[in-house]
Structure 1
Amino acid sequence: MTIGYNLATYLIERDGYAVIENFLSQSEIDELKNEAEKLIKNMPEESNRAVFNTVESEAKQNKDQYFLDSSDKISYFYEAGALGPNGELLVDPSVSLNKIGHALHELNPVFRKLTFCEQVKETAFQLGFQEPAVVQSMYIFKNPGIGSEVIAHQDASYLYTEPVKVIGFWIALEDATLENGCLWFARGSHKGGVHRRYIRNHDKKSDQLLVYTTPSPYYQKSSFLAAPVPKGSLVLIHGQVVHHSEPNKSQKSRHAYTFHIIETKNTKYSENNWLQPKNKPFAKLYEN
């Protein structure tokens, strides 16, 4: 690793994020990418194709039971630009997906092995987690030309705990550059609390299954710093730091594997969060 845990902890506390290069070896990267290719071969039929988009006016998952039910499944989400009006593919299947999630870490042996490896456990321990649990995982494609924008957001808006203690593990499986949509961070923004929540809608008369509690805040574009990283890097993301990524208009993809952990000791996971455990608690990191 390029930086030590003490420095990573300091940077997360100061900036809201930290980069640890060389977290994964080339063989580990290849194993995850090859497994993703196998998952692509098992993509659903047209009738089950769901689109994922973070732009609120276009976010179909707010109404989609498929998205709501994905916490304990391996579910497939397509780019809006990859599908026609009747769900037909407009691009090659290999570059049609936005992401696969949200239980890769539990249901797929390859992703489970990486998520619960000693290196991940040690990282969580050094960050002060006493009884961490993994709540969700995603393989993100950011495919060439159609990889969509991810709007500025805080992870704690979606995975809220009281007190807030959530960390994202974002692992670059390919070089993340300015051209193909690397992450951008508003450094220090994690010190301003949780700006809004994304919750289950209890209004039975509404067709919106999921809603934001307030409109999207305005974030000054000049506040963000780019964080390009080489493949194999781990980006640790504080739950309250505001971050985003631009659309990928280049000819190079930007694959990443990401998962989130929360503290469960003396911490309450909100019952209003969109993602809820089903039939069993979230998988404890140290016990697996």
Structure 2
Amino acid sequence: MAHALSQAQKDSFDRDGYLVIRDFFSAEDAARLRAAAAALVDNFDLDSHPKTKFSTGEEQDEHVGDKYFLESGDKIRFFFEEKSLDAKGNLLVPRTRAINKIGHALHVLDPVFKEFSTRSSVRDVVRSLGAFEDPRILQSMVIFKQPEIGGRVGPHQDSTFLYTKPLSAMGLWFALEDCTPENGCMYFLPGSHKTVPVSRRFVRKPDGSGTTFVSLVDEDIQDPPEEDYVCEPTPVGTVVLIHGSVLHKSSQNLSSKSRWIYTFHCIEGRAEYPKDNWLQNADGKPFTPLLT
């Protein structure tokens, strides 16, 4: 396998809960993905859009959870930065600088992202990691981290949002632009996938009115200090493998430069995927096989 992980890389991922691989894809690939994302943003119908903002819950009581969000698992939908709209839903910045992210089925519905997500180099990495028998892609996103208004994403574990029994989520995070401390690069708490349990799940409310978190443990889990996190600047062309239980975050983008990335997540297809997880395909359609 041309892009198979070395034993040293696998050991690093096992130890730290993430692995940074620079020069994994070309500048031409990045430009192609950026162009595809820009075309999607340019062409969606703004007039009919519900103006759903993407919130991680740090600046308001609840994480995003409206119908537009909950029905996005098998669609391509657009979510605004919290500071891009006024109280009446009017844009405060041009639409090209207003979108927080596109999700969550780019890997299924957009030919450029579909090809990139399932190309042989990606399959080689996932196969060689040895963590999956039947890896399934269940969500994909372009996250823009817009200049001057790109919001902070606080410490979190992806398995909170993509929960399976047993836990199996893993993210592949591709830098489409240079990601720096100034424009909101990633920070990780190395080894936290082994020391900090996944203590809650992000689920649909039973009455269908939105989303909420449910606890998986009886006691409160103390959050490790954020000063222990390691900053990981990633130049364009980098992929980062992210264990579903490792704590990570990104800072607000106060710079004049955007921080575009593409990411998708895999789960083990043989694991149990609860029906109250927030992300569901319509009509119970299976998630996308990666290796076939």
- The aligned length equals 283
The question of 1:103 aligning with 2:105 is answered yes
Q: What's the TM-score once normalised by structure 1's chain length?
A: 0.93
Distance in 2 (CA, whole Å) between partners of 1:5 and 1:278 is 39
TM-aligned CA distance change 1:26 to 1:152, over 3 Å: same
241, 265, 272: which is aligned to 1:268?
272
When residues 9 and 41 of structure 1 are mapped into structure 2, their CA distance, relative to the original with a 3 A threshold, is: same
Aligned to 1:163: 166
Please tell me whether the aligned partners of residues 2 and 20 of structure 1 are also in contact (alpha carbons under 8 angstroms): no
Q: Is residue 39 of structure 1 aligned with residue 40 of structure 2? A: yes
Q: Which shifted more, 31-40 or 277-286? A: 277-286
Seen in structure 2, the aligned counterparts of structure 1 residues 181 and 130 have a Cα distance that, compared at 3 Å, is same
Distance change (3 Å), C-alpha of 1:110 and 1:2: closer
TM-score (normalised: structure 2): 0.92
Residues 193-230 of structure 1 show CA distances to partners (whole Å, capped at 9, x for unaligned) of 2121111111x3x84x1101148853311221111111
Stretches of structure 2 lacking an aligned partner (at least 5 in a row): none
Distance 1:216 1:109, change over 3 A: farther
Match of 2:23? 22
Structure in which a larger fraction of residues adopt helix: 1
User: Which sections of structure 1, spanning at least 5 residues, go unmatched?
Assistant: none
Q: 2:179 is matched with which residue? A: 176
> What's the CA shift for 1:65?
0.8
1:1-288 matched pairs, under 5 angstroms: 4-46=5-47, 47-58=49-60, 62-128=64-130, 129-191=132-194, 192-202=196-206, 204=207, 207=209, 209-214=210-215, 218-265=223-270, 267-279=271-283, 280-287=285-292
d(CA) in 2 for partners of 1:7 and 1:248?
33
Q: Secondary structure at the match of 2:173?
A: strand
Q: What is the alpha-carbon distance in structure 2 between the residues aligned to residue 166 and residue 187 of structure 1?
A: 17
Map Cα deviations across residues 110-133 of structure 1 (whole Å, 9 max, x no partner). 000000101111111011122110
* Rounded Cα–Cα distance in structure 2 between residues aligned with 1:3 and 1:185: 23
**Cα distance, 1:59 vs. partner?**
6.2
Counterpart CA distance in 2 for 1:79 and 1:222 is: 26
Moved more, 188-197 or 27-36: 188-197
